[in-house]
Amino acid sequence: IEAVNDIPTANAQSVEILEDTVASIKLAASDVEGDDLIYVIVDAPRQGSLAGDVPDLSYTPDADFNGTDSFSFIAKDQDQTSGFAVVDVRINEVNDAPVANDQLVMLLENTEMSITLAATDAENDPLTYTLVSVPQDGTVSNVDLPRLTYHPNENFNGTDHLTYIASDGELVSETATVDITVVAVNVPPVAIEQGITTSEDTRVAIILKAMDIKDETLTYTITSNPSHGVLSGTTPNLIYLPNLNYHGDDVFAFTASDGTDVSQPADINIKVASVNDPPKADPKSITLAEDAQIPIVLSGTDVENQKLTYEVVSVPSHGTLSGRQPNLVYTPQPNFNGRDQLSYGSSDGFLSSDPAVISITVTPTNDPPISMDVTKALAQKSQGNQIQLTADDVDGDPLTYQILSAP
C-alpha cells in the first residue's frame, strides 16, 4: 500500500480572560505523519490585537472592552493545508476605576465662577465626588458636588487650584486638579483726539497721545489713514505731509494699547491752510516761413485759478513783436531764416512765474532776383559796344539772364 500524505487538522480553542488583561494562546494542530507544521492567521480579531510568533501568540483586548472576540487560522505541512480553526475569546467584565478630569478655568479679578467637577466611568456607574484640597487664595461656596462656586480673595490675581476625586461606590479615581487663573482687571487706555493746523505743502509733526490709569507703556496703531496726505515716522512720533497743493480738512484715526486692552479710536483732525502758489508760464515752439507773420498767445497755469497777466522778459533777436499781451504777433526781419526766441513770465498779482521760452523756427523761402537798370553813353555810329547786365539775389543763387526786348 502506497503512503499518502494526510491533511493536517487545526484545533479550535476557547480562551477566557478578564477585561484589560493579556491572554497567552498557543495555536494547536495535528498531523498523522508528524510533519512540521506552519500556522497562518486567516482572520484577525476585531476587538483586540495579536502579537508574537505563531504558534505562540498573545491576545490583548481593546481597552475596557468586554464580550466575545475570535480569530481563525490554518495549519500547513509541506503539501497539504488544514481547514479553518477558530479561537474564541471571552473577555469578562471588570469594574474600572472612574477617571476624574483635570480642568483649567479662568475668571476676572473680584468676580466669581461656577465650576462643575467632571469624571468618566467605563461602566457608566453613578459617581460621587470628594474635595481633596481647597483653594489657597479663594473660597468655595454653594457646594453641591459636582457643582460649586469659586470666589477669589479680594483683589487677588494669579493662579489658584483645588483637587478632588470621584468614586463609583467601589473604586476611587486618581486625584484630579482644577487649575484656576484669576486675571487682573485692566482699564483700557484712552486715546486723545487732537486738532492740528499746517499750511499747504508744509510738513507738520504730530505726537499721538493717550492716558492709562496704571501708567503702563503704550503702543499705538493707525486704524485709518488720511485721505489727502501721507504719514511717516514711527508711532507715536509722526510727520504729516499734505498732498501737493491740497488745502482743506483731513483726518486719520488711531488706537492705543497697554498690551492687554485697546482703546477706542481717536481722530487727529488736520486743517491745511491755503497758500498762494506762483503761476507757471507755458513754454512753446512755433514755426513760420521767411517774411511771414505768426500770432503768439501767451499762456500759463495757476493752481488757484487766478487771473494772470503776462510780461515779455526778453524780446526776439531777429524779429519784432506787436499786439497787446497776451495776444502778440511775431514778424521776422526781412529775408531772415533760422532760429529765434523770446521769453516771458506770468503773474497772479502777488507772485510771478519763472520765465518760459518760446522757440521760433523761421524756414527759408526762395526770393526772386532783382534786375538792375543799366545806363551807358555810346559814341554816335559806334559799333561793338559791350553792356554788363547786373541783378541782385538775396539768397546768393547763381543767375542767368534773358533779353526780353531788343533795341
- Mean pLDDT, residues 35-42: 92
Reference 66, options 86, 48, 41, 87; nearest CA is 48
In a domain, 293, yes or no: yes
Based on the fold, state whether residues 266 and 285 are members of the same structural domain: no
Reference 26, options 85, 83, 81; nearest CA is 85
Which residues 6+ apart lie within 8 Å of 166 measured at CB? 98, 99, 100, 117, 119, 121, 127, 128, 129, 130, 172, 173, 176
- Mean pLDDT, residues 190-215: 93
Q: Which of 100-104, 110-114, 181-185 has the lowest mean pLDDT?
A: 181-185
Query: What is the percentage of the chain residues whose pLDDT exceeds 70?
Result: 97
Number of structural domains in the chain: 4
Range of 39-48, 76-85, 302-311, 367-376 with top mean pLDDT: 39-48
pLDDT at position 16: 94
Query: 122 pLDDT exceeds 90?
Result: no
In a domain, 173, yes or no: yes
Which among 183, 203, 228 is the end of a domain?
A: 183
Q: Which has more pLDDT, 305 or 231?
A: 231
Q: Which of 148-152, 241-245, 275-279, 336-340 has the lowest mean pLDDT?
A: 275-279
pLDDT at position 1: 65
- Mean pLDDT, residues 262-284: 95
In a domain, 379, yes or no: no
Can you give the pTM of this predicted structure? 0.41
Q: Which has more pLDDT, 379 or 113?
A: 113
Residues 67 and 46: their CA atoms lie apart, in Å, by 12
Q: Which of 44-53, 186-195, 255-264, 393-402 has the lowest mean pLDDT?
A: 393-402
Inter-CA distances, 405 with 61, 368, 402, Å: 143, 20, 9
In a domain, 369, yes or no: no
pLDDT tens, 213-231?
778 899 999 999 999 999 9
What is the span of the domain harbouring residue 76? Answer: 9-92
Reference 325, options 299, 348, 306, 302; nearest CA is 299
β-bridge partners, 108: 183
In a domain, 142, yes or no: yes
Inter-CA distances, 379 with 291, 343, 374, 382, 386, Å: 45, 63, 17, 5, 12
pLDDT at position 352: 93
pLDDT tens, 248-268?
999 999 999 999 899 999 999
Query: 97 pLDDT exceeds 80?
Result: yes
- Mean pLDDT, residues 338-347: 96
Burial of residue 26, with CB atoms counted within 10 A of its CB: 0-12 exposed, 13-18 middle, 19 or more buried: exposed
In a domain, 268, yes or no: yes
- Mean pLDDT, residues 177-205: 93
Report the CATH number that the domain containing residue 177 is assigned in CATH: 2.60.40.10
Which among 156, 183, 210 is the end of a domain?
A: 183
Which cell numbers in the block locate residue 278? 506762483
Inter-CA distances, 331 with 150, 255, 281, 299, Å: 103, 68, 22, 19
In a domain, 176, yes or no: yes
Based on the fold, state whether residues 86 and 104 are members of the same structural domain: no
Based on the fold, state whether residues 299 and 240 are members of the same structural domain: no
Query: 404 pLDDT exceeds 90?
Result: no
pLDDT at position 126: 95
- Mean pLDDT, residues 164-182: 96
Which cell numbers in the block locate residue 90? 471571552
In a domain, 121, yes or no: yes
Residues 402 and 399: their CA atoms lie apart, in Å, by 10
pLDDT tens, 49-95?
999 999 999 999 998 898 999 999 999 998 889 999 999 999 998 88
Which among 250, 273, 296 is the end of a domain?
A: 273
Q: Which has more pLDDT, 44 or 400?
A: 44
First to last CA, the chain: 168
Average pLDDT, the chain: 92
Query: 3 pLDDT exceeds 70?
Result: no
Residues 162 and 154: their CA atoms lie apart, in Å, by 18
pLDDT at position 72: 96
pLDDT at position 305: 87
pLDDT tens, 124-136?
899 999 999 999 9
